[in-house]
Structure 1
Amino acid sequence: MLLVAGLAAGHGADTNDVLKTALYIEPGNFESFAEAFKDLADQTKAKADETLLQDTYFAAATYYRAADFFLHGNWSDPRIDEFWNLERDCFDKGISAMPVPGERITLKADGFEVPAIYYAPQQPVPGVKRPTLLLNEGYDAAQEELLHFNVFFALQRGWNAITFEGPGQPTVRRKQDIGFIPDWERVVTPVVDYLYNRSDVDFERLALLGNSFGGYLVARAAAFEPRIKALILNGGIYDSHQAFVGQLPPNLEKLYNAGEKQQFDDLIGEALHTQESPSQFRWDVEQGLWAFKIQSPYDFLQATRAYTIANITDRIRMPTFIANASSDQFFAGQPQLVKDKLGDSATLYTFNGSAGYHTQVGAAVESNRVIHTWLNSVFNMTSQAVAVY
C-alpha cells in the first residue's frame, strides 16, 4: 500500500484513494486486494475518460498494476493479461499528453526484445546534448512505475530518461514468455546502442539505475558495458541466492540446505494455499516462480545462485552509488557487501527514518534528491529546473 500511495509525489496516484481502498482489503486475502484495486482502477479510468486528465489516466494505470500484484500464483489467471492491457492503455494516454510525449520503442536483443520508453524534458535543441538516466526495475515492478518514482524528478532537473524491461520483468514475461536471465548486459547494451544513435544524448553522462533486484541486474550489466559512466544501485545486491535463502523460516532453510527437494516443495506448496501463511512469504515465492518461469520453489532458489557479482566486481569501474535502506526487509546487509568489494569507487548512503524502507518507497522526493546530488558531484553539474509538466 505504501508503494502505491508513494507514487502520488510523481503524479501516479492519489493518497486518499489508496488509503480508502485499504479499508476493503481483508488481511491475507489476495483476492480482496485484487478486487479492491480493480474497482478503484475502473472508477478512476471512467473519470479519466470523461475529463481526459493526464494525472487521472496515470492513477488508473497505477491501480490496475496494483490489482495485478498478488495474482501470479496462478499463471493461467486471465486477469494477469487483462489488467495489464488496461494498465497500458491508460498509461499510454497519459504519456501522450506530456509536453514532450513519452516514446515507446522496441529494441532487438540476443533472443528477445527489450521494450523501452524514452522521455525528454523539452523538444530537442540542435547541438544540445543532455545527461541521460537509464532506469531498470527488478523482481516485480513495471517500467511504467519508474515514471512516477524517478523519471519526473530527472526531467525536472534537465535530464533525459529511458526506462526498459528485460526477461522476467512484467511486459517481457507476459508478451514473450521468458523468465529472468542472469547476464543482464544482454538487456542493457541494446539500450546504450539506441542512445548512441540519438543526437540529444551526452554520451559522457550516461547513468544507469536499478531498483530492488535491479541492483543486481544493472551491476552485472555495468561490468560488461563500459559506456555507462555512473551506476546507481538501489540497493546493492552482492549475492541474490544468499539473500533469498536468508528469508526462509528456519525449518525450510534446513530442508533446502539438506537438498530435500520434494519435502521442501511440498511444504512450500501447502503454505501457498493458506491465508494463515504470511502474505510477504507467499508473494515472494509466487512472484519468483512466475518471474523466473520455474514451477519448483527448490529449483527457483537454485536458479538464483547465478545472480551474484562475486566474480565480476573488478570489472565495475565507474563511480557507483549504493543505497542502503536501514529497514530493508529483503536485502539487508547486501549493500555493505557490495561496498566492501567495490572499495573507494563506491559511495554507500544509508536512508533512515521514513525513507528507510526498501527502495525508499513512500519517500521518492528524498530518494531522488540524494541520488541527483550524487550525480551532480560525479558529473560536475549544477541542476537547473526545467518545466516538464
Structure 2
Amino acid sequence: MRSSTSTGYSLAALALSSLVVAASNGTNDYPPTYPLSTDPGFASEFVVALQNSLTGGADIGPVLGAVKNIKPGDMDSYHEEFYRLANATKAQAEDPQNSYDPVNVRDTWFSASQYYRRADVYIHRNWSDPLIQTVWNEQTAAFDKAIAALPIPGQRLQIPSPEGNFTVEAIWYSASRNPHAKLPTMIVGNGFDAAQEDSYHYYCAAALARGWNCITYEGPGQNTVRRTQGLGFIPEWELVATPVVDYVLLAKKQVVDENRLVLVGNSMGGYFAARAAAFEPRLSAAVLIGGVWDTYEGYISPLPKELLAVYEAGNYTQFDEQILALRDAESEAFSTEAKWGLDYGLWAFKTHSPSEFYSQTKRYRIEDVVHQIDMPVFVGDAEFEGIYIGQAKKVSDALGERATYHLFKGVAGYHCQSGAQQEMQRTIFAWLNRVLKA
C-alpha cells in the first residue's frame, strides 16, 4: 500500500470544499461570513449548529463555548466537545425545575438532541464503534421528548414500503387541532447525512408557523433506517416517497388539502425528491434545495486526475488502497471534509470499498426520468455550492417551463443556505403562495 507521500494526491472528496468552490467561481468575496474555524469543514458544521437557535434547537453561547475548545482538524476533539455539551444540556432538561414550562422542556430537549447529532458527525470511520448507535439513541430520545412538548405533539411513525420491503421512518406535525382542517402539507426529505430531526428546524417549524402540516421521512441509507434496518442508499426513491404520500392522503385525508401537497428535497435530497416527483403525479409542487443532476459527476469532481484515472481504468483494488491510505495518513493533504465524506459515504452506502461507493453513485442521476416530472418545481442553487456546482441549473434547464430557478447569493450562498435559513424559507413560501394559488 502506497503512502500519501508517495501518491502525492490531495482530495476534497464528497464534501463542501468551499475554498475550491470560491476559486472556481472567481469571487473575491469569499467567505461571505466570518469563519469560526481555520478548518473549513468544522466552520461549516459550526454554522449548522448555530442556525438551529432560530427554532429552539441550540443556544449561541454554549455552541461558541464548544467551538472555542475544538482543535481544527481534530475529529475526536469535535466529537468530545459536542458530546460533553449534549450531556450537560440533557442534565438541564432532566432537572425537575425545568419541567414546569413546556417551552423550557421543548427547547432544552431540542438543543440536547441537536448537540448529540453534532457529536455524531465525525464518528463513522469504524462501523463497530458503539457510539454510532448510543449517540443516536440519545438524540432520538431527546428529540421525542421535545416534540411531545410542542403545542400539538409530533407523532413518530413507521410506514411500510411494500414494494421496497423496508419501513420508512417518519414524523408527522399537525398545524391545527381541527380534525377537519384542510391544510397545505409539506413532505420533507433530507439527503446524504442530515437527519429528519434536522428537517424540523430547517423546514417544519417555518411551515407550522405558516399554517402548514409537515411530515419528515427517512429511507434506506439515511440515519435511522441505516441503523435500525441495516440498509444503504437506494436510487429508486419513489419506493420511499410514494408510501409517505399514500399515508398523508389516506390516514391524514381529513386534515390535508390534496391540492396543496408539496415535496421538499434538501441537499442530495434534491435528487431524491426529483426522482420521487417523476413517479408521483399526486404532488402539487416540488422544492429542490438544491438541484442534483448527477451524483457521480459531483462526487468525482474533486478527485485528482491521476487518482480518477486509476478508478476509471478499473484498477479498483489499487484505487481503494490508495484512497484509504490517504484517509488514514497523518497528513494535511487529506482535508477534514474529505475524511468525513469518505467515512460517511462508505457507511451510508454500506460498502467498505471506495470504488464500489463511486460505482453505486452512478445510479443516482435524474436525466433519465426528468421528463416525467409534471408539476411546478422550485430549483434552489447556491453561489458557493460545493460538489454539486452547476447541477441545479442543469435540472432547471431540463425542466424548462416547469421550473423556477433561484440562485441564492452572498451570505445566503452556502450549500442549502446554511446560516441563512430565514431567507431560504421566505423565498420558498413566497413561491409556494404564488404557485398554489394559480
Do Structure 1 and Structure 2 share a fold, with TM-score over 0.5?
yes
Q: Are the aligned partners of 2:123 and 2:132 in contact in 1 as well (CA < 8 Å)?
A: yes
Q: Are the aligned partners of 2:301 and 2:387 in contact in 1 as well (CA < 8 Å)?
A: no
Aligned equivalents of 2:285 and 2:388: distance in 1?
A: 22
Aligned equivalents of 1:259 and 1:174: distance in 2?
A: 31
Where does 1:80-91 land on structure 2 (aligned, <5 Å)?
80-91=132-143
Q: Are the aligned partners of 1:328 and 1:357 in contact in 2 as well (CA < 8 Å)?
A: yes
Q: Are the aligned partners of 2:168 and 2:240 in contact in 1 as well (CA < 8 Å)?
A: yes
Deviations 1:18-46 (A, max 9, x none): 12211221222111111110000001111
Deviations 1:140-173 (A, max 9, x none): 0100011111101000110000000000000000
Aligned match of 1:21: 66
Higher relative contact order (CA 8 A, sep 6+): 2
Q: Gaps (5+ residues) in structure 2?
A: 1-45
Q: Are the aligned partners of 2:109 and 2:142 in contact in 1 as well (CA < 8 Å)?
A: yes
Aligned match of 1:8: 53
**Aligned match for 1:317, one of 367, 370, 374:** 374
Aligned equivalents of 1:72 and 1:142: distance in 2?
A: 15
Cα distance, 1:273 vs. partner?
Answer: 1.1
Aligned match of 1:377: 434
**Aligned match for 1:330, one of 383, 387, 403:** 387
Q: Are the aligned partners of 2:231 and 2:350 in contact in 1 as well (CA < 8 Å)?
A: yes
Q: Gaps (5+ residues) in structure 1?
A: 382-389
Aligned equivalents of 1:181 and 1:171: distance in 2?
A: 15
Q: Are the aligned partners of 1:99 and 1:122 in contact in 2 as well (CA < 8 Å)?
A: no
Cα distance, 1:254 vs. partner?
Answer: 2.4
Count of equivalent residues = 380
Aligned match of 2:227: 174
- After the TM superposition, which segments of 4 or more aligned residues of structure 1 sit over 6 Å from their partners? none
Is 2:123 the counterpart of 1:78? no
Aligned equivalents of 2:390 and 2:362: distance in 1?
A: 17
Instruction: Tell me the TM-score normalized by structure 2.
Output: 0.85
Q: Which residue identity is paired with 1:252?
A: L
Q: Which residue identity is paired with 1:14?
A: D
Q: Are the aligned partners of 1:289 and 1:300 in contact in 2 as well (CA < 8 Å)?
A: yes
Aligned equivalents of 1:201 and 1:337: distance in 2?
A: 33
Aligned match of 1:63: 115
**Aligned match for 1:340, one of 389, 392, 397:** 397
Cα distance, 1:330 vs. partner?
Answer: 2.5
Cα distance, 1:11 vs. partner?
Answer: 1.5
Cα distance, 1:9 vs. partner?
Answer: 1.1
Where does 1:217-256 land on structure 2 (aligned, <5 Å)?
217-256=272-311
- Where 1:306 maps in the other structure, the secondary structure is coil
Aligned match of 1:386: none
Is 2:363 the counterpart of 1:306? yes
Q: Are the aligned partners of 2:262 and 2:283 in contact in 1 as well (CA < 8 Å)?
A: yes
Q: Which residue identity is paired with 2:168?
A: V
- Where 1:196 maps in the other structure, the secondary structure is helix
Q: Are the aligned partners of 1:330 and 1:358 in contact in 2 as well (CA < 8 Å)?
A: no
Is 2:84 the counterpart of 1:39? yes
Cα distance, 1:258 vs. partner?
Answer: 2.3
Is 2:196 the counterpart of 1:143? yes
Instruction: Tell me the TM-score normalized by structure 1.
Output: 0.96
User: Does 271-280 or 313-322 show the bigger shift?
Assistant: 271-280
Q: Which residue identity is paired with 1:190?
A: P
Cα distance, 1:111 vs. partner?
Answer: 0.8
Q: Are the aligned partners of 1:166 and 1:172 in contact in 2 as well (CA < 8 Å)?
A: yes
Aligned match of 2:148: 96
Aligned match of 1:131: 184
Q: Are the aligned partners of 1:100 and 1:123 in contact in 2 as well (CA < 8 Å)?
A: yes
Deviations 1:339-369 (A, max 9, x none): 1111111011000111100001111111100
Cα distance, 1:125 vs. partner?
Answer: 4.2
Deviations 1:65-93 (A, max 9, x none): 01010011111110000001110111111
